[in-house]
């Protein structure tokens, strides 16, 4: 099963001073991808850097990640899953962050699991296979 990487994993890697090889070593048998909202979330980190040096480091790190992992679009198929999932989570009172709903919908629409450090929220999504990295 392919794996959709949540921004929490990428942000955690960068903050720990690890590189993308550390993530790739978690599994050899599966392919990785990012949701388009995840690409946006990690790009925001570049603009929030507190110094020019940190910004340059982050920009290099983020661009390497974006070059390594395919970015899956938020297309009409994902939008349909997203709408249904959003309504279901609201109805059941188990709502998660709107960006997380987009990640979950992207994963569900393509039969991907989600690799995240935010297991508590993603486990609320029915049918979603949630994995946590073992650092």
Could you report the per-residue pLDDT of 90-126, keeping only the tens digit for each?
999 999 999 999 999 999 999 999 999 999 999 999 9
The pLDDT mean for the chain works out to: 94
Query: Can you list the positions of beta strands (E) in 11-131?
Result: 32-35, 71-72, 113-115, 130-131
Does the pLDDT value for residue 15 go beyond 90? no
**Architecture of the CATH domain 3-131:** 3-Layer(aba) Sandwich (3.40)
pLDDT top residue among 67 and 21: 67
**Strand arrangement, sheet containing 71-72:** 71-72, 32-35, 3-5, 113-115, 130-131
pLDDT confidence band for 19 (50 / 70 / 90): confident
What's the whole-model pTM score? 0.93
pLDDT at 30: 85
Does the pLDDT value for residue 27 go beyond 70? no
List the domain boundaries for the chain. 3-131
């Amino acid at each position: 099963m392919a794996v959709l990487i949540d921004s929490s994993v990428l942000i955690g890697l960068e903050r720990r001073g690890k590189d993308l090889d550390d993530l790739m070593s978690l599994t050899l048998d599966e392919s990785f991808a990012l949701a388009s909202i995840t690409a946006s979330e990690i790009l925001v980190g570049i603009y929030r850097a507190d110094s020019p040096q940190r910004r340059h480091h982050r920009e290099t790190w983020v661009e390497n990640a974006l070059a390594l992992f395919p970015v899956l679009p938020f297309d009409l198929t994902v939008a349909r899953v997203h709408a249904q999932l959003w309504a279901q989570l609201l109805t059941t009172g188990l709502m998660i962050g709107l960006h997380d709903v987009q990640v979950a919908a992207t994963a569900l629409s393509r039969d991907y699991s989600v690799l995240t450090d935010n297991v508590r929220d993603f486990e609320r999504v029915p049918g979603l296979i949630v994995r946590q990295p073992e650092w």
